């Protein structure tokens, strides 16, 4: 990392590594605490600022078994609050940048709507034995928002005065562009898609303090209701806007009543618009295209709607052909022009938006090394470091993009 010019490293804690059984009364695993202490200390010793995420899609299994995990807001929330407290107590003297949840919407939709990630619940019985895609995603999303609010409140009252750190949440969201920019129905559908994907979590935290009206109109009572206490805790809880984004899609209005399991806002998603224009060059990941035009619009949309400083906490791409690469020696570098083009075009749009007054406080490329990408396993190589997964030692080799980022930031940032 130091050779790459990295000044900040974002990583996620594993709840079950710190409290294996997860609960508020369960014992802390000191070996897990020691592991993260070594990591934090090593980063700081090398001038790298740690950004620490509390939850990255791994509820301890014991909590799923005891009460259904996030489906039970009343039992889950005190367990998450206690876990966060342990982290603030043990690491907060050195960690000054906290993130409560990573992409709560993706965790919710993948785990409870599509059922392709843990805990593998959905209405699709050919895929999952249990679950209800029409209700559970919104119940779980509500639990995440409320528990996030409680943790932020605790941090600000009990830890921030002494530790002088900051706390936020990181939300996912790709740009939704009208399929036909001249059709008012597609314009409305694209905005609705952005609200279902992004404002679902962002409006209660940074905006109105409640869910978007477009969601309530479609979902009715299937969308939970905040109590006044929950609204107070959630609204304004995150000090900054944590932003994870990768691509853009064309969105078309859909006639007829929405499917009961719909979570997109009753729209049709396309790779090309009405004129046959493609959204961007393909990566090695089916949904991810290079779309700096959409990234530019999304930065401005978030800033205009929420007026909150933005921390870009994830952005990056896979590239075709990297699985077959064979290093010629220990210092060989993988040439990855596709990723370099991606970074250059997206960072250029950040620079433009910054010059217009959009406040952007960080940029974290996803990711440092090729790693385990959930359901895709080792098949999606997002890293700027190539890992030889076939070798038991897992040797690592730099990709050219790692050094490009260092040089390009040197070009962009005023000293």
- Which residue, among 267, 225, 260, has the nearest Cα to 133 in the 3D structure? 260
- 314 catalytic? Reply is yes
CA distance 111 to 55: 14
Domains of the chain: 8-412 (3.20.20.80)
Two tokens, residue 179: 């399929």
Q: What is the pLDDT of residue 415?
A: 72
Residue 242, strand partner residues: 170, 311
CA distance 328 to 388: 13
Report the phi/psi class of residue 173: left, alpha or beta, with left for phi > 0 and alpha for psi in -120 to 50: left
Task: Collapse the DSSP code of 233 into the 3-class scheme (helix H, G, I; strand E, B; otherwise coil) and give the result.
Answer: helix
Tens-digit pLDDT profile for residues 99-145 = 999 999 999 999 999 999 999 999 999 999 999 999 999 999 999 99
How many C-beta atoms surround the C-beta of residue 275 within 10 A?
8
Whether the bond between 367 and the residue before it is cis, its omega within 30 degrees of 0, is yes
In sequence order, the 6+-apart residues with CB closer than 8 A to the CB of 255 are none
CA distance 104 to 170: 8
Task: Collapse the DSSP code of 62 into the 3-class scheme (helix H, G, I; strand E, B; otherwise coil) and give the result.
Answer: helix
At 96, phi and psi to the nearest 5?
-115, 5
- 42 catalytic? Reply is no
CA distance 410 to 245: 23
Catalytic residue among 103, 136, 195, 322: 103
CA distance 364 to 50: 12
Pair 330, 346: CB distance under 8 Å:
no
Tens-digit pLDDT profile for residues 136-175 = 999 999 999 999 999 999 999 999 999 999 999 999 999 9
Burial 42-68 (b: 16+ CB within 10 A, else e): ebeeeebbbbbbbbbbebbebbbebeb
CA distance 79 to 21: 10
Catalytic residue among 136, 144, 197, 314: 314
CA distance 303 to 306: 5
| pTM of the predicted model as reported, rounded to 2 decimal places | 0.97
Q: What is the pLDDT of residue 410?
A: 87
- Using 70 as the pLDDT threshold, list the residues of the chain that sit under it: none
């Amino acid at each position: 990392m130091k050779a790459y010019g990295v000044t900040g490293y974002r990583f996620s804690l594993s709840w079950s590594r710190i409290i294996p059984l997860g609960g508020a009364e369960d014992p802390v695993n000191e070996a897990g605490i020691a592991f993260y202490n070594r990591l934090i200390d090593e980063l700081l010793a090398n001038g790298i600022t740690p950004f620490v995420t509390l939850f990255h899609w791994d509820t301890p299994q014991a909590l799923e078994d005891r009460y259904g995990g996030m489906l039970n807001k009343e039992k889950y929330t005190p367990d998450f609050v206690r876990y966060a407290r342990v982290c603030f107590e043990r690491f907060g003297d050195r960690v000054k940048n906290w993130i409560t949840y990573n992409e709560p919407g993706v965790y919710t939709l993948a785990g409870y709507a599509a059922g392709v990630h843990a805990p593998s619940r959905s209405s699709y019985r050919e895929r999952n034995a249990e679950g209800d895609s029409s209700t559970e995603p919104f119940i779980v999303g509500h639990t995440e928002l409320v528990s996030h609010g409680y943790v932020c409140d605790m941090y600000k009252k009990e830890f921030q005065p002494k530790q002088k750190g900051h706390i936020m949440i990181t939300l996912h969201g790709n740009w939704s562009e009208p399929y036909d920019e001249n059709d008012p129905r597609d314009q409305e559908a694209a905005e609705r898609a952005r609200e279902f994907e992004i404002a679902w979590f962002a409006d209660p935290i940074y905006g109105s303090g409640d869910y978007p009206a477009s969601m309530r109109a479609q979902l009715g009572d299937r969308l939970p209701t905040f109590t006044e206490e929950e609204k107070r805790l959630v609204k304004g809880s995150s000090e900054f806007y944590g932003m994870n984004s990768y691509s853009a899609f064309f969105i078309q209005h859909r006639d007829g009543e929405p499917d009961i399991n719909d979570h997109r806002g009753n729209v049709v998603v396309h790779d090309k618009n009405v004129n046959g224009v493609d959204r961007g060059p393909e990566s090695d990941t089916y949904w991810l295209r290079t779309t700096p035009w959409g990234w530019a619009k999304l930065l401005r949309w978030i800033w205009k709607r929420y007026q909150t400083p933005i921390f870009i906490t994830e952005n990056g791409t896979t590239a075709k052909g990297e699985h077959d690469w064979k290093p010629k020696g220990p210092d060989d570098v993988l040439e990855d022009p596709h990723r370099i083009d991606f970074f250059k075009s997206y960072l250029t749009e950040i620079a433009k938006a910054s010059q217009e007054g959009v406040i952007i406080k960080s940029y974290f490329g996803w990711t440092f090394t090729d790693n385990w990408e959930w359901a895709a396993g080792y098949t999606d190589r997002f890293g700027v470091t190539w890992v030889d997964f076939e070798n038991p030692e897992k040797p690592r080799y730099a990709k050219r993009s790692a050094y490009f980022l260092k040089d390009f930031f040197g070009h962009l940032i005023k000293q």
